[in-house]
Amino acid sequence: MTYGYLGSMRTRPGCRDDVVAILLSGVEGLREAGCELYVVGVSDQDDVTIWVSEVWQSKQHHDASLRLPETRAAIGRAMPMLTGEFTSQEVTVVGGLGL
């Protein structure tokens, strides 16, 4: 089954755009890692929260992507700019536009 991950993270004030840049810096390699959809979103009314929507071929593909050296490095760069407040939801993707 196709695996979906929906998450949010809160940044320290003034850091949101830097974290977004880090999140988007590695998108080229995601398809090769099994990612079907990777979307990063922000709100004009909330300058510290980032939402990420992901669709992967499987949970195993997602988990393996978190162990890639470039992913680990990106996480290391972003962590000092985050507050530690995260939400996450794993879902089974059943369909939709763009998949």
Q: What pairs with residue 89 in β-bridges?
A: 6
Tens of pLDDT, residues 56-94: 999 999 999 999 999 999 999 999 999 999 999 999 999
* pLDDT at position 26: 84
C-alpha torsion 28→34→37→38, nearest 10: -50
Share of the chain above pLDDT 70, in %: 100
Q: How far apart are alpha carbons 23 and 72 in whole angstroms?
A: 12
Q: Give the mean pLDDT of the chain.
A: 95
Q: Where are the domains of the chain?
A: 3-92
- Per CATH, is 3-92 categorized as 3.30.70.100? yes
